[in-house]
């Protein structure tokens, strides 16, 4: 095995393949990147069994072959070389890889590549759902909602992102049972509806691997238990969660008895004050009285004291007083891209609903605290 390639291209590829390198005592080869040369290109592959990534870079191949190199060692070696545009030469001799450029000569120990798991590839047949979607929007979708997923693996469907296409809309949804968030994109992905449950861990890897990708849109391939994403020289696969996501739409209130339209920055500032004075349960009391033009947050702690702050707002409906976990409200604000948002209720025992204003492409539901 012998090839030459541009060092910078190898460096960029390794930064991405490193995202799913596994440290498995029983199978040390999973800590390696599988390097394969064929047809004037180098394939770099990594897997942690649940995910797999293949990145192809151009190269001058003199001798074809395959080897497994510890990913951490190879990545640090390439990262610490100053001349990124230099040509790197690699030659496999027995169990060592000889890596040279204009400044250094390095010998790297390799592992037996035959123990490396097979990298899955989805066949594009009639059973495979295929669609094309802007990668930036997909990353925005998963990053917008993932914070609301459950941190427990007891119910895998709740530690996943529910991605659902229906009637010209692509929905990204997460819930942990205490709050729920839905992000909507209007798009045409064909006549057939479909859905999938993407593990939050997989979503984070997708965002890292495909961030700043040169392709505007990428291809998605879906089977019953697997997702594949193709963008230029990158091919990613991961397992999907089997199960049923809750019928979340019935949890979203359709009507409102009380509402307040608030500037996002005003709400964020008041919630920061609440964090100082709230108790161990992070309680905040929200009082809305449209007749008195009052939208007030109260937080109290026996140690630090009490804070009451009125928030400028456009108010409508009946007066209401409800307790919430202020952290649940604060955590949704980075996902709000508009300057204003609307908080609404149907009655004191029902969830708080937050919508972006003027559009309603993001909906967030928070359950009230028990009295």
Report all structural domains of the chain as residue ranges with CATH numbers, in order of start: 2-115 (3.10.150.10), 129-248 (3.10.150.10), 253-366 (3.10.150.10)
Side-chain-side CA neighbours of residue 56 (13 Å):
12
How far is CA 263 from each of CA 30, 147, 258, 336, 358, rounded to the nearest angstrom?
Answer: 49, 22, 17, 11, 12
Instruction: Please give the model's pTM, rounded to 2 decimal places.
Output: 0.92
What is the rounded CA–CA span in Å between residue 13 and residue 31? Answer: 16
Nearest to 284 by CA among 267, 264, 303: 267
What is the rounded CA–CA span in Å between residue 210 and residue 24? Answer: 25
pLDDT, tens digit, 9 for 90 and up, residues 281-338: 899 999 999 999 999 999 999 889 999 999 999 999 999 999 999 999 999 999 999 9
What is the rounded CA–CA span in Å between residue 224 and residue 239? Answer: 9
Q: Any idea how long the chain is? A: 371
For residue 290, the Cα-to-chain-centroid distance in whole angstroms is: 39
Q: Could you give the strand order of the β-sheet that contains 87-93, starting from the edge strand earlier in sequence?
A: 60-63, 2-6, 87-93, 96-100, 105-109
Q: Contact 327/284 with Cβ under 8 angstroms?
A: no
Mean pLDDT taken over the chain: 92
Reported as a pLDDT band with limits 50, 70 and 90, residue 79 is confident
250 pLDDT higher than 60: yes
Alpha helical stretches, state H, the chain? 7-17, 71-79, 135-145, 200-210, 264-277, 326-330
Helix H or strand E encompassing 115:
none
72 pLDDT higher than 90: yes
């Amino acid at each position: 095995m012998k090839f030459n390639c541009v060092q910078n291209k190898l460096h960029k590829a390794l930064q991405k393949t490193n995202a799913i390198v596994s440290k498995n005592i029983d199978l040390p080869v999973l800590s390696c990147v599988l390097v394969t040369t064929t047809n004037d290109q180098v394939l770099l592959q990594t897997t942690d069994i649940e995910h797999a990534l293949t990145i192809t870079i151009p190269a001058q191949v003199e001798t074809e072959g395959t080897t497994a190199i510890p990913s951490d060692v190879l990545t640090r070696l390439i990262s610490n070389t100053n001349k990124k545009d230099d040509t790197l030469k690699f030659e496999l001799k027995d169990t060592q890889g000889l890596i040279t450029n204009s400044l250094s000569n390095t010998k790297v120990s390799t592992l037996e590549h035959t123990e490396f798991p097979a990298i899955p590839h989805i066949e594009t047949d009639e059973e495979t759902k295929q669609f094309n979607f802007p990668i930036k929007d997909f990353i925005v979708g998963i990053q917008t909602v993932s914070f609301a997923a459950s941190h427990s693996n007891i119910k895998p469907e709740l530690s996943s992102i529910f991605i659902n296409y229906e009637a010209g809309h692509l929905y990204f949804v997460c819930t942990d049972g205490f709050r729920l968030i839905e992000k909507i994109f209007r798009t045409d992905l064909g006549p057939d509806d479909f859905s999938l449950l993407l593990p939050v861990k997989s979503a984070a890897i997708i965002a890292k691997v495909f961030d700043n990708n040169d392709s505007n849109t990428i291809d998605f391939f879906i089977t019953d238990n697997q997702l594949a994403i193709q963008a230029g020289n990158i091919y990613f696969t991961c397992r999907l969660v089997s199960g049923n996501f809750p019928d979340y739409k019935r949890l979203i209130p359709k009507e409102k008895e009380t509402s307040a339209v608030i500037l996002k920055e005003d709400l964020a500032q008041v919630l920061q004050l609440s964090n100082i004075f709230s108790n161990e349960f992070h309680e905040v009391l929200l009082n809305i009285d449209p007749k008195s033009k009052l939208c007030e947050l109260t937080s109290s702690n026996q140690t630090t004291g009490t804070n009451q702050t009125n928030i400028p707002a456009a108010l409508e409906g009946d007066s209401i007083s409800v307790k919430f976990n202020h952290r649940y409200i604060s955590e949704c604000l980075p996902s709000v891209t508009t300057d204003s948002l609307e908080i609404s209720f149907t009655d004191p025992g029902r969830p708080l609903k937050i919508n972006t204003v003027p559009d309603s492409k993001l909906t967030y539901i928070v359950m009230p605290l028990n009295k």
